[in-house]
Amino acid sequence: MDIIMFFTIPLYILVLITIIKNRNDEWLKHSFFTLMISTGIADICRILTLLLFSKLA
């Protein structure tokens, strides 16, 4: 499971960076993409927390 998350995080970050860079595009100005950015950042923080700190407990 950790290996899968390790390989998908860069792809997830790349998608978020692409959306953030192009958020001024007319098609990406909808609230769906704003929510997707904030949810994506929260997901990445949660995944990194699971990967880095779940082994300590």
What SS3 class is residue 52? Answer: helix
Write down the pLDDT at residue 47.
Answer: 86
User: Using 50, 70 and 90 to split pLDDT, how confident is the model at 48?
Assistant: confident
Measured over the CA atoms of residue 47, residue 49, residue 50 and residue 51, the dihedral's sign is: positive
Query: pLDDT tens digits, residue range 6-47?
Result: 788 899 999 999 999 998 888 888 899 999 999 999 999 998
pTM of model > 0.85: no
Residue 57, pLDDT > 60, answer: no
Residue 54, pLDDT > 80, answer: no
